[in-house]
Amino acid sequence: MTGSAKSAAFDLLAHPWFGRFLSLGGGPRCVVLMLHRFQSADHSVTGHDPAQLRTLLAGLRRSNIALIDVAQAITAMGDATTRASLPRRSVAFTVDDGYADLVEVGEPVFAEFDCPVTGFVVPGVIDGHCWFWWDQIDWIMRQTTASSLSMELQGQPVSLQWSDADSRHVEQNRLIERLKEIDHDALLAFVHELARVAEVPIPLAAPFRYRTLRWDELRAAEARGMRFGPHSMTHPILNRCTAAQSAHEIGESVRRVREELAHPQAIFCYPNGRPGDFGMREMASVRAAGMTSALSTQPRVLCIRDAQTADPDWRFAVPRFPYAEHLGTVARFFLR
Ligand SMILES: [Zn+2]
């Protein structure tokens, strides 16, 4: 193991959630983890390393930390009579965006440990009406023959310059983070303009490397035990949408998931999910659509305090931690 991997492990030990999660005392606690893409066998897609995930799952099992369904965690935590049935320490796995690698790479690893997993899917992408805007940027940046681009975003200059794949990736991520701060329609217009300036036409259908699972593949995965829930129609940051757009993104995605799947989770997952990416308006829409809870990306342990709060809306902003590769390293060190 390299020095940097060791120091990453010790850094994480110092992370407040880890100590609080493992310490004795208190009521049941659940860490809800959020994953995205998985590394492909030929490494052409960067994502979570299945070997690292296996290490983490093995560590959690060895430490008798329960691997549970996220719906079970939220439901049981919210009811004083069922709360006692919750394991004292548990982890629930969620995977956002519904890429094909969830089933091709992730699912077999989760299955090895009999670990429940819920995927959150985007019906507008599955139905072929659009593909993810950040993938379109990735496509444009990979395909263009340029090594620098100059544009304007809301009166401010945007200048991108790169010399290799790594620096292109850095520039691309910087741009994506900046675009998360503007209205969704302006974001889509910018991606369109980027394609024009870079002289890369955006294909109507997502190229293979960005492939998401089809409904029949989701149904087959459901039959094997996986669960799925709605994650909006086109994955905009809902607070950057008009009220009508936001309501449609939520309500229609709930409707499509219910229409296509046999056992959909009654849990909505906010795109991006940071505080400020959704608000009371979205929480009300999620509730009106018949969902019983919703997931954010606020990194905090789900614990009894959430359920005991006087605020009934706690179920509509359930905290989650981003999964990081070094969790696998940590598991090897500390979860014995
Ligand atoms: Zn997402």
Domain boundaries, the chain: 3-127+208-334, 133-198
Flag whether pLDDT at 332 surpasses 70: no
Provide the terminal-to-terminal Cα distance of the chain, rounded to the nearest Å: 18
- Tell me, in angstroms, the distance from the centre of ligand 1 to residue 88's CA: 29
- What is the arithmetic mean of pLDDT over 221-245? 97
- Tell me, in angstroms, the distance from the centre of ligand 1 to residue 209's CA: 17
Q: What is the pLDDT of residue 304?
A: 80
CA angle at 19 for the pair 17 and 20, rounded to the nearest 5°: 65
Q: What is the pLDDT of residue 7?
A: 42
- Tell me, in angstroms, the distance from the centre of ligand 1 to residue 112's CA: 25
- Tell me, in angstroms, the distance from the centre of ligand 1 to residue 232's CA: 9
When mean pLDDT is compared across 19-23, 194-198, 260-264, the lowest value belongs to 19-23
Q: What is the pLDDT of residue 88?
A: 87
Q: What is the pLDDT of residue 307?
A: 77
Q: What is the pLDDT of residue 326?
A: 62
CA distance 58 to 91: 13
CA distance 303 to 88: 10
Flag whether pLDDT at 214 surpasses 60: yes
Determine the 3-state secondary structure of 205 from DSSP: coil
Q: What is the pLDDT of residue 44?
A: 80
- Tell me, in angstroms, the distance from the centre of ligand 1 to residue 77's CA: 25
Which structure tokens are listed for 282? 């979205």
Cα 317 from chain centre: 14
Residue type, 4: S
- Tell me, in angstroms, the distance from the centre of ligand 1 to residue 336's CA: 33
Flag whether pLDDT at 159 surpasses 60: yes
Which structure tokens are listed for 302? 């789900």
Give yes or no for a contact between 226 and 261, defined as CB atoms under 8 angstroms apart.
no
- Tell me, in angstroms, the distance from the centre of ligand 1 to residue 237's CA: 9
- Tell me, in angstroms, the distance from the centre of ligand 1 to residue 96's CA: 5
CA distance 182 to 280: 19
Non-local CB neighbours of 300 within 8 Å, separated by 6+ positions: 17, 319, 321
DSSP assigned state of 275: B
Which structure tokens are listed for 289? 């659509």
Q: What is the pLDDT of residue 324?
A: 78
Give yes or no for a contact between 71 and 266, defined as CB atoms under 8 angstroms apart.
yes
- Grade residue 311 by pLDDT with cuts at 50, 70 and 90: confident
Give yes or no for a contact between 266 and 287, defined as CB atoms under 8 angstroms apart.
no
- What is the arithmetic mean of pLDDT over 70-77? 93
Flag whether pLDDT at 48 surpasses 70: yes
Q: What is the pLDDT of residue 43?
A: 75
CATH number corresponding to 3-127+208-334: 3.20.20.370
Determine the 3-state secondary structure of 51 from DSSP: helix
Beta bridge partners of 321: 33
- Grade residue 184 by pLDDT with cuts at 50, 70 and 90: very high
How far, CA to CA in Å, does 124 sit from each of 103, 206, 211, 249, 335?
Answer: 19, 12, 13, 9, 40
- Tell me, in angstroms, the distance from the centre of ligand 1 to residue 135's CA: 12
- Tell me, in angstroms, the distance from the centre of ligand 1 to residue 3's CA: 33
- Tell me, in angstroms, the distance from the centre of ligand 1 to residue 252's CA: 16
Q: What is the pLDDT of residue 308?
A: 77
Flag whether pLDDT at 14 surpasses 60: no
When mean pLDDT is compared across 1-5, 207-211, 238-242, 265-269, the lowest value belongs to 1-5
Q: What is the pLDDT of residue 10?
A: 41
- Tell me, in angstroms, the distance from the centre of ligand 1 to residue 321's CA: 14
- Tell me, in angstroms, the distance from the centre of ligand 1 to residue 1's CA: 32
CA distance 253 to 268: 9
Flag whether pLDDT at 253 surpasses 60: yes
Give yes or no for a contact between 85 and 137, defined as CB atoms under 8 angstroms apart.
no
- Tell me what percent of the residues of the chain surpass a pLDDT of 90: 71
- Tell me, in angstroms, the distance from the centre of ligand 1 to residue 180's CA: 12
- Grade residue 283 by pLDDT with cuts at 50, 70 and 90: very high
Please count the CA atoms within 13 angstroms of the CA of 53 that sit on its side-chain side.
27
Determine the 3-state secondary structure of 155 from DSSP: coil
Average pLDDT of the chain to the nearest whole number? 89
CB neighbour burial string for 88-127, b if at least 16 within 10 angstroms, e if fewer: ebbbbbbbbbbbbbbbebbbebbeebebbbbbbbbbbbbe
- Tell me, in angstroms, the distance from the centre of ligand 1 to residue 273's CA: 8
Q: What is the pTM of this model?
A: 0.91
Which residue's structure tokens are 């049981």?
76
Q: What is the pLDDT of residue 12?
A: 45
Q: Which of 5-9, 85-89, 268-272, 323-327 has the highest mean pLDDT?
A: 268-272
- Grade residue 306 by pLDDT with cuts at 50, 70 and 90: confident
Q: What is the pLDDT of residue 327?
A: 65
Q: What is the pLDDT of residue 288?
A: 98
CA distance 72 to 64: 18
- Tell me, in angstroms, the distance from the centre of ligand 1 to residue 164's CA: 27
- Tell me, in angstroms, the distance from the centre of ligand 1 to residue 271's CA: 5
- Tell me, in angstroms, the distance from the centre of ligand 1 to residue 317's CA: 15
